[in-house]
Every structure is written in structure tokens, then in C-alpha cells.
């Protein structure tokens, strides 16, 4: 439960930071949920955002058009799969990081 609270706090902080670029604060903006569960600002239809969290990370994006993001926790990586499906330069980049 502590992890979930921290992820929610992180999401709130990122929403607040994103809204600052529009001259707004998270505490002053209503957040609603659309038909398919996507959150939006009903009073600001020109501000679109998306938030995702997984394990220890939170990601948020803001845009003036529909936007989405997703972050997933990966426990292990199958590097043979990466070698098979990525071009050589992409595979080398993955191996370096």
C-alpha cells in the first residue's frame, strides 16, 4: 500500500508540474474520467494528458492534442529477441545501456 501511495503522490506532482506550463495548478483543476477510463480536464478541453505508473516509476505527458503514454516494469530482458527484431544500430544501443 505504501508503494501505491507513493506512486499516486508522484502522479499528482507530475500533473501539477504539467499544469504549471498552462498557468494552472492541480489543486484548482477538476479531473474527470471518460467513457473508457481515460482521465481529462472537463473545464480545459484543449489540455490533454496521460499518466502511467509501474513499480517505482511514474510518467506523465501533456499536449494540445490527444495523447497517451504507458510505462511497464520489465523484470528481465530477452536480448536474443532484441537482436532478432531490432536493426544492428538499435541492438548495439540497447547493449550499451
Could you tell me the pTM of the whole model? 0.73
pLDDT at 51 over 90: yes
| Residue 40 to residue 35: CA distance in whole angstroms | 11
- CATH for the 1-97 domain, from 3.40.50.2300, 3.40.50.150, 3.90.470.20, 3.40.50.261: 3.90.470.20
pLDDT at 74 over 90: no
Residues 6+ away with beta carbon under 8 Å from 30: 41, 42, 43
Q: What are phi and psi of 48, to 5 degrees?
A: -110, 145
Contact predicate 62/18, CB 8 Å? yes
Burial class (CB in 10 A: 0-12, 13-18, 19+), 59: middle
Between strands 57-63 and 32-33, the pairing is unpaired
Mean pLDDT to the nearest integer, 29-52: 95
Residues 6+ away with beta carbon under 8 Å from 55: 73
Per-residue confidence band for 1, with pLDDT thresholds at 50, 70 and 90: confident
Mean pLDDT to the nearest integer, 51-71: 94
Per-residue confidence band for 29, with pLDDT thresholds at 50, 70 and 90: very high
Report the mean per-residue pLDDT for the chain: 93
Amino acid at each position: 500500500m505504501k508503494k501505491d501511495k507513493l506512486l499516486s503522490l508522484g502522479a499528482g506532482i507530475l500533473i501539477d508540474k504539467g499544469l504549471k506550463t498552462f498557468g494552472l495548478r492541480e489543486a484548482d483543476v477538476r479531473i474527470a474520467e471518460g467513457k473508457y477510463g481515460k482521465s481529462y480536464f472537463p473545464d480545459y478541453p484543449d489540455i490533454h494528458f496521460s499518466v502511467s505508473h509501474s513499480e517505482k516509476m511514474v510518467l506523465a505527458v501533456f499536449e494540445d492534442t490527444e495523447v497517451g503514454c504507458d510505462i511497464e516494469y520489465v523484470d528481465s530482458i530477452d536480448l536474443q529477441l532484441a537482436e532478432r527484431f531490432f536493426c544492428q544500430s538499435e541492438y548495439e544501443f540497447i547493449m550499451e545501456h
